[in-house]
Chain A
């Protein structure tokens, strides 16, 4: 995903989706469940609660925006 905004600035929502997907890509080599758990852990450790709530909401609104691993991770966060 590249930057879409003409100004070169992502909206906060886009940025959160981008970040979740980027984390997922970097932790993908572990594979499947393990990767999803690591991404969820990472987000829990480093994202403040409002960002976590927002990504959960975004995942619901835009089901195709997140990669499968990122989506699985966000589901875990939502479930907690």
Chain B
């Protein structure tokens, strides 16, 4: 009987993987459901176990079972590991994803699972924290704060009750790495959290997952139950978010777990000292915690050997939008933006030229192709007026209207604002209005109402809205001032980062805002 591997990842299922799996069962195959390998242009991917390793076909339709089994299917890929998209990766965190049965403890153990936890538990907590520091791991949720320093703070906090909280409220559009990991290798996250618990002296953990991830929620709950004995006395629980983007902000997330309205808390106190229920709390992103087992099992040095500058290790990059080969690509820091977009992603799906890419989710900056030599690195992106964030890259072709994209950023902030701080609460709505004025003005420079001429004209309607200067240049100045207020005045990253897409659109694509296009790069 043939062993066949088919993904049960939400994206694969959306592409028809369940029906394909049923067809293979019907054909008498033993079907193993795995996570996704992460290249969606070949999903549903069917892998056949052979002497020479797993041979892949994809995409496959349910009616094509015979062709796969007899080796004649047109979408023959060959040895999956050798596929260019996978072979080019450095899979530290996603090493098992797409390969193992997510809920098989035996599979997990057979693929170097639990070695990290056993190593950690054999060591003093301080030694574990030291290993994390030595690895150079930085928070993968976006802020890039050194994970080891955060853990050290919690370890040093004098309190008997401490918590580990995993932020799995992956709300950025175009990002899906957290989901893929939870669906494809949930024990990896559990192991990472158990190691964190040992490192800081916590006995309970919470995984806060957005409600839009039902598969991830089910997988995590099942995996928690299956591994309860393995990680005991550490206890884990899944909490499901109610859909507010801001609950991805760590302090709002804590409020939400505590059963309150998710609102951003002012810091200090740091959650590391007074977090969940007022107790010292490690709060890390899924990808940060999932990187931990590798660091413990393979050594901090093995992790730190990869990377660029102060950005060490690997980053699971997510390619989305108008891109030929969308998917998850885990790679060491330092690869350039252009390599990711053009070499790995293969350019746009539409075949038109790339005009802009947004890095770091809806609050990340837009970059034009002229900046494609930018290396993937926290510091380099900051210097370029952007951010890596959760490493989602969304690609747009030349039909994109960057003023509309700026508007979208403001609109997104307005929709997701918790309403606590003023720059975000009012500023985002004003931002939408300003961009609307710019869009209106750039299309037809409005004639000033005739009533404004003459003394009476100046008096009449003097309190009317049109007394403000609605010219694109005045509105652009106002938009920049608003971005300044939001960036430096907001309480949390939602309002604070919304200016990134707006300002980068203004800087790199001024022609879309009714201003002259920038002079072409001198070099060209």
Chains A and B in contact, CB within 8 Å: no
